[in-house]
Amino acid sequence: MKALRNFLDKIKPQFEKGGKYEKFHSTFDAFETFLFVPDKVTHTGSHIRDALDMKRTMSMVIIALIPTLLFGIWNTGYQYFLSQGMTQVGFWEIVWTGLLKVLPIVIVSYVTGLSIEFAFAQARGHEVNEGFLVSGMLIPLIMPVNIPLWMVAVATAFAVILGKEAFGGTGMNVFNPALLARAFIFFAYPGDITGDKVWVAGLTHGEAVDGFSGATPLAHAASYHTELIPPLHDLFLGFIPGSIGETSKLAILIGAALLIITGIGSWKIMVSALTGGITMSLIFNLVGANPYMQISPLTQIMMGSFLFGIVYMATDPVSAAQTEKGKYIYGFLIGLFSLMIRVFNPAYPEGTMLAILLMNTFAPLIDHYVVEANIKRRMKRSAKLTNA
Amino acid sequence: MKEPLFSAKNLKLLTGPLNLNNPITVQVLGICSALAVTVQLKPAIVMALSVTVVTGFSNLIISSIRNTIPPRIRIIVQLVVIASLVIIVDQLLKAYVYDVSKKLSVFVGLIITNCIVMGRLEAFAMAEKPWRSFLDGVGNGAGYGLILIAVGFFRELLGSGKLLGLQIIPHFLYEMGYKDNGLMILPPMALITIGIIIWIQRSANRELIDKS
């Protein structure tokens, strides 16, 4: 550590104003603040600084994502051996197999995204923002394991350039970048992100043993084979095919707890989205027009990426509603639309992605009306006081 | 003294709309058809030519009769001229390039309502001499066409791997796992492509950026 610090101090002058590599000072800053707590102090006036700066916030989300990532790696290996009919495989072999499949996706996502972020920061003379650290982890977690790596790269580039940099970088984006990357693949290369083959490693080219289908619970539900949906405890623990990080609800709940305790993820959004989802599925239960509508609310919220979406994506502080009341409306509608899209449109097997992106669009509008309503209320009150 | 036909001032009418005064990227007119006809390059080119012909000649005709048009009914007169020109263009397309005409379907007819045509008539032809008006019309049509062709180029190349119907992306790339981008064929991507063009254009020409 000491040696590293000394090394940084030694090369620092070259990156400062007038130095040889002045142009690259944002790159240097990024690495320095990544490794050490920045020692910058303000020179004018007094500022209150929260110890929880953006870097710590982002690191916290990453930590909250670790359980889903670890389980995703294990499940990738587990599903692979299951599809090959091999049930007597050791734990570490499963993890190793999964790691070999998942790690390249993580690396591609980070390398593409971070190089674009660095390039833009460099060109604009900004500091490099940490925003991509989370997106770069979320992107692999919401991909099917068989996704070709170049598609991950293209989608990440699309999301970072058009979803973020075009709007002005971290903190300015209208849409959640990770979801944008997934939506891009969903519409551009639908064959690689839907169907029964893409969710289990090796299934797109290889053969599975008889009786094994790579279909996700959502696919079973959409084809009205509701009896094929795995039992609740499997859905909860995550021994099912699906996007890498979404399968284990237990891991997601651990992450959610961490986000709520540290105050980084808004519990209001999570709870109201859950309420929205349950409300919609209860309405469907009442209508009961087809087998999909008759699925119980508990199964509905356990299927697909609903929980993953509302815990990690809907709570994205940039693209979500900012006002406290607005968060309830925003979350509730996400839950409602997720289930609605899922059940009504068989072409879109999972509605969570589209529901969150849709509500991202409306978040500023919701905030606007909440603020307006508040102003109106207070105007009325003050009018009453002055009249009295 | 008589001004030469292609004086610097007149030439500017022709080249201005290509970049700094582009009808699509700067005036933001005619977006609708730009989204609809740019899935492939060929219809985009045909559409670009058709619009250029219509803007050019409608500007010329209206400008020649501008002093005889009663101001109250000028919009109707303009529309009659545009509509006649569009019908001529439509009939020509049907006669000579029937397949493209079918692909463009209703959008040739909709040139009548293209804001660029009407906009140039109102803003320019009603107040300027015929030759200058004609140049302005052709320039704006070409500016519109330029963007249309650029968008059509990328959408056809990335969306179906072809240009003008010829396979451009080699077969071995597909065998290596390359796939055509399905999003490029959908209308939203046309809007995004135009957005990217606007982004690039404004980064290159700082004076276009709104001061606010």
HSE of B111, CA atoms in CB hemisphere, 13 A: 32
pLDDT on residue A112: 92
Residue A40 lies in a domain: no
Q: Which residue of A has its CA nearest to B187?
A: A187
Q: Which residues of A touch B177 (CB under 8 A)?
A: 148, 150
Whether residues A90 and A127 share a domain: the answer is: yes
State residue B167 phi and psi, 5-degree precision. -65, 120
Put simply, whether the predicted model's pTM sits higher than 0.90 gets the answer: no
Residue A94 lies in a domain: yes
pLDDT on residue B212: 57
Q: What is the largest CA-CA distance in chain A?
A: 81
pLDDT tens digit string along B165-210? Answer: 788 888 888 887 788 888 888 888 888 899 899 888 888 887 777 7
Q: Which residues of A touch B (CB under 8 A)?
A: 148, 150-151, 162, 166, 184, 187-192
Looking at chain A, the whole-number percentage of residues with pLDDT higher than 70 is 89
Q: What is the number of domains present in chain A? A: 3
Sites in chain B below the pLDDT cut of 50: none
Contact A192 B177 (CB under 8 A): no
Whether residues A170 and A237 share a domain: the answer is: no
Question: Shortest CA distance to B40 belongs to which of B204, B170, B166, B188?
Answer: B166
Whether residues A26 and A61 share a domain: the answer is: no
pLDDT tens digit string along A78-99? Answer: 888 888 877 777 888 888 888 9
- Residue among A148, A184, A188 minimizing CB distance to B177: A148
C-alpha distance across the termini of chain A, in Å: 68
Q: Is the pLDDT of residue A19 over 90?
A: no
- Residue among A166, A187, A192 minimizing CB distance to B183: A187
Q: Which residue of A has its CA nearest to B178?
A: A150
Structural domain of residue A66, as residue ranges? 55-189
pLDDT on residue A388: 67
B187 touches chain A (CB under 8 A): no
Contact A166 B199 (CB under 8 A): yes
Question: Shortest CA distance to A187 belongs to which of B189, B37, B174?
Answer: B189
Whether residues A185 and A283 share a domain: the answer is: no
pLDDT on residue B211: 65
Residue A383 lies in a domain: yes
B195 touches chain A (CB under 8 A): yes
Whether residues A172 and A292 share a domain: the answer is: no
Whether residues A74 and A181 share a domain: the answer is: yes
- Residue among B177, B182, B192 minimizing CB distance to A162: B192
ipTM given for this complex? 0.81
Strand partners, B162: B167
Residue A165 lies in a domain: yes
Question: How far apart are alpha carbons B151 and B173 in whole angstroms?
Answer: 23
Contact A188 B183 (CB under 8 A): yes
Q: Is the pLDDT of residue A174 over 80?
A: yes
Looking at chain B, the whole-number percentage of residues with pLDDT higher than 70 is 98
B192 touches chain A (CB under 8 A): yes
Give the number of beta-carbon pairs within 8 Å between A and B. 23
Q: Is the pLDDT of residue A9 over 80?
A: no
Whether residues A168 and A272 share a domain: the answer is: no
Whether residues A241 and A370 share a domain: the answer is: yes
Residue A157 lies in a domain: yes
Reported as type and span, the H/E element at residue A102 is helix A91-124
- Residue among B177, B179, B182 minimizing CB distance to A187: B182
Whether residues A81 and A174 share a domain: the answer is: yes
Minimum distance, in Å, between the CA of residue B209 and any CA atom of chain A: 14
Contact A150 B177 (CB under 8 A): yes
Whether residues A282 and A141 share a domain: the answer is: no
Q: Which residues of B touch A148 (CB under 8 A)?
A: 177
Contact A166 B195 (CB under 8 A): yes
pLDDT tens digit string along A297-342? Answer: 888 888 888 999 999 999 888 888 889 999 999 999 999 999 999 8
What single-letter DSSP state applies at residue B163? E
- List, as one string, the DSSP characters of B87-153: HHHHHHHHHH-HHHHHHHTHHHHGGGG-HHHHHHIIIIITTS-HHHHHHHHHHHHHHHHHHHHHHHH
Find tokens 């007119």 and name the residue. B29
Q: Which residue of B has its CA nearest to A192?
A: B179
**C-alpha pair distances (Å), A193 with each of A180, A199, A243, B63:** 14, 8, 9, 57
pLDDT on residue A257: 93
Mean pLDDT of A353-360: 92
Whether residues A255 and A310 share a domain: the answer is: yes
Banded pLDDT at A375 (limits 50, 70, 90): very high
Q: Is the pLDDT of residue A41 over 70?
A: no
Q: Which residue of A has its CA nearest to B192?
A: A162
CB count in 10 Å sphere of residue B111: 25
Question: How far apart are alpha carbons A350 and A348 in whole angstroms?
Answer: 5
Residue A210 lies in a domain: no
Residue A359 lies in a domain: yes
Whether residues A14 and A118 share a domain: the answer is: no
Alpha helix ranges (H) inside A125-148: 131-141
Q: Which residues of B touch A347 (CB under 8 A)?
A: none
Residue A8 lies in a domain: yes
Contact B196 A190 (CB under 8 A): no
Please name the residues between 103 and 162 in chain B that touch chain A, using a CB distance below 8 Å.
none
pLDDT tens digit string along A102-157? Answer: 999 999 999 999 899 888 888 877 777 777 888 899 999 999 988 889 999 999 99
Instruction: Identify the residue with better confidence: A8 or A181.
Output: A181
